[in-house]
Chain A
Amino acid sequence: MSVSEHRVSLLAQSAADRAKVLVSMATGDRIFSTVTRVCAYGVLLLLAGIMLSLVIGAWPAIQAFGLEFLVTRRWAPQLDEPVLGALAPIYGTLLTSFIAMIIAVPFGLGVAIFLTELCPIPLRRPIRVAIELLAGVPSIIYGMWGFFVLGPFLAQHVEPAIVWAVQDIPVLNTIFGAEVISNISLFNASLILAIMILPFITAIAVDVFGTVPPVLKESAYGIGCTTWEVVKNVVIPFTRVGLVGGIMLALGRALGETMAVTFIIGNSFQIDGSIFSPGTTISAAIASEFAESSDVHRAALMYLGLLLFILTFIVLAAARLMLARLDKRAGA
């Protein structure tokens, strides 16, 4: 056997081995892709299943109230023919989440910028850990703290001053007006929500700020940018997809938060335009009424659940859309 023949046979053999290995790898790949596909489709199936069971559960209420449910202010389950409407809980849900976001987003981003750009190195870790711990506190604890500490404090020392200060200013004296100031109000619930979602926003923002290539920031500093300019023109534009994602996650939590809010929102189906009045949210209404409800009342609560589902869906879809538009502009 010549050297070249030997080489050819070796090559042939290694080709055969390779084919074998490739086949076995392809099988592995197929199994892997099937498993992951089943998992992914399983999630879709689950989503559809939840949606379907909500619709089935809510069907009696959908039949009874239809779309008018969305704009009816009354919630009167005691009548022989109950009149139930979702306007008050929808109003409460959107308002509390909105106020919470107004407070938590600037605050959370500010903390994140401080941590990544300005904070002395030895302090970074302790502050980060503290914020992550805040994110892990169960919501019922926030609710109890809001009920026993924050609510009474605001009602005695903060809110009366605000009400007094704006009493003669039109519009403001409706928003911040209150005949009765109690420990429990839409505003207090919003504040608790803000405290609850702040660590989410901060933790995600710190993580995404960390992905900015140092060379970008250094270049900006090199041409004489201030820290503010670097953050505004380099860090935030570079990370906005992650930021918006984090903020939307936080908004999702605010919309659906139940226990803490149920404690301090007052569970009252009223809309009077003041943020110092008691109110209710979709999840709080379901949590407090579900156990003792029946028939169309229960179906109406399921209908509320369906609405929350759709509301959250719309928020996430809007976030996606917004991101897509931002990307397009950045690409052009």
Chain B
Amino acid sequence: MKISTLIAAGLVAAVSFTAAVAKDISGAGATFPAPVYLKWADAYKKATGAAVNYQGVGSGAGRKQIEARTVTFAGSDIPQKGEWLDQRGLVQWPMVMGGIVPIVNIEGVGPSDLVLDGQTLGDIYSGKIKRWNDAALKALNPKASLPDLPIIVIRRSDGSGTTYNFTYYLSAVNEDFKKKVGTGEAVEWPVGIGGKGNDGVANNVMQTKGSIGYVELAFAIQNGLAYTDMINSAGKRVKPKFDSFQAAAQNADWSKADHFNLVLANQPGASAWPMTVATFILMPTESDDAEAAAAAIKFFDWAYANGGSMAKELDYIPMPDSVVAKVKSAVWSKIAK
């Protein structure tokens, strides 16, 4: 009697387990948006009962998995070229945004006390500017008391979408950096100390006097680090804030971007933050499991509509409505449901 109940219970559990697996939407990829995707998934499950599993395994690993079709969707911080996508039967669209901020550890310097521009930031990261009281830094910050200390450069040791976007920006605005370092997920840094992950860089900056690093804004805020302002492409000083990130996305010319292949770095606009990052979703146009694909689109649709405030709580920036409308009309229509 007891045993048979146990077996029955086991069977029921097994059946319901497989049923749950069949309905699941699975995704993998970039770690940067993982917190917000997980939060959305949690709320979505409460609202609709459908589960979304997202594994933050890294942009590169996510792309591999979507190529092999082992997941329903992939997350990537790096937009892919149209050609690359077409060859693999994939489409991509931007899902949510964040911003990269320079963080510094100098005694008496708080958030937004200093301002940098692409030229000096690039010179610091290519090893040309070596001390905090360098003339270029003094010219940008005439009022700040910059110490006579060496600059300890902190950067990522692992391959990362953050590094890609950061080096993309610096290469765009600093010729010397472009020649010496270039753009990539992992580059050949001429100077500096490598930290693993955004938190590794944040920790190193916290521990090291006179250091500079770059992280997603959320990490700077959570760790109470002093971020700097930036001079943008319009020559204006901007703070890394919600509005300046949204301005970058709004001013970006998405209509010219083939397959949404657009990096938000160095976008025009007087109030645009120069190191804004959009993170992308990749999905196949023809999926083996059309049901799962449709369920995934439903989830993203829900997230665009209801996820904004949750994103903001975690210091992410929702996509502007104009971009969302374009994603729906130009991309989702291509996915076979």
Contacts and interface: CB of A to CB of B under 8 A. Distances in A.
A184 interface: yes
A284 to B, nearest CB: 8
A180 interface: yes
B323 interface: no
Interface string A287-300: 11101111001000
A101 B167 CA distance: 39
B196 interface: yes
Contacts of B187: 76-78
Does more than half of chain B's interface fall in helix, strand or loop, or is it mixed? Answer: loop
A287 B158 CA distance: 9
A57 interface: no
Interface in A137-170: 147-148, 151-152
A78 B188 contact: yes
B58 A77 contact: no
A292 B56 CA distance: 11
> Interface centre among A278, A291, A292, by most B CB within 10 Å?
A292
A287 B196 CA distance: 9
Interface string B164-200: 0001000000000000001111111100111110000
A77 B64 CA distance: 18
B127 to A, nearest CB: 10
B203 interface: yes
A254 B188 CA distance: 27
A84 to B, nearest CB: 10
A76 B152 CA distance: 21
Contacts of A276: none
A76 B184 CA distance: 10
Contacts of A294: 60, 64
Contacts, number: 89
B196 A267 contact: yes
Interface in A43-76: 74-76
Interface residues of B, number: 33
Contacts of B160: 292
A89 interface: no
Interface residues of A, number: 30
A293 B60 contact: yes
Interface stretch (B43-51, B204-212, B278-286): B204-212
B193 A288 contact: no
Interface string B147-158: 000111000011
Nearest to A76: B188
B57 interface: yes
Contacts of B82: none
Given A152-B207, A180-B150, A75 B60 contact: no
B60 A288 contact: no
A269 interface: yes
Contact of A278 (B61, B185, B193): B193
Contact of B186 (A179, A184, A262, A292): A292
Contacts of B158: 288-289, 291-292
A179 B150 contact: yes
B32 to A, nearest CB: 12
A78 B208 contact: no
Nearest to B184: A78
A177 to B, nearest CB: 13
Given A76-B188, A78-B187, A268-B194, A291 B61 contact: yes
A182 B194 CA distance: 12
Contact of B159 (A75, A148, A292): A292
A5 to B, nearest CB: 65
A151 B185 CA distance: 28
A288 B204 contact: no
A293 B167 CA distance: 17
Nearest to A294: B60
Contact of B188 (A75, A278, A280, A292): A75
Interface in B185-237: 185-189, 192-196, 203-204, 207-208, 211
B59 interface: yes
Given A266-B193, A291-B158, A151 B182 contact: no
Contacts of B159: 77, 289, 291-293, 297
A97 interface: no
Contacts of A93: none
Contacts of A289: 157-159, 186
A109 to B, nearest CB: 34
Contact of A180 (B152, B186, B204): B152
Interface string A182-218: 1110000000000000000000000000000000000
A269 B184 CA distance: 16
A269 B193 contact: no
B69 interface: no
Contact of B207 (A75, A183, A269, A287): A183
Given A266-B194, A291-B159, 15 more contacts: A74-B188, A76-B187, A77-B188, A78-B188, A79-B182, A148-B207, A180-B130, A183-B208, A267-B196, A268-B189, A278-B193, A292-B60, A292-B158, A292-B159, A293-B186
16 contacts: A78-B167, A78-B185, A78-B186, A79-B182, A182-B211, A262-B157, A266-B193, A267-B157, A278-B193, A280-B194, A288-B157, A288-B194, A288-B196, A291-B158, A292-B58, A292-B158
Q: A-B pairs with the 9 shortest C-beta distances? A: A78-B184, A292-B159, A267-B194, A267-B157, A76-B188, A266-B193, A288-B157, A180-B150, A78-B187
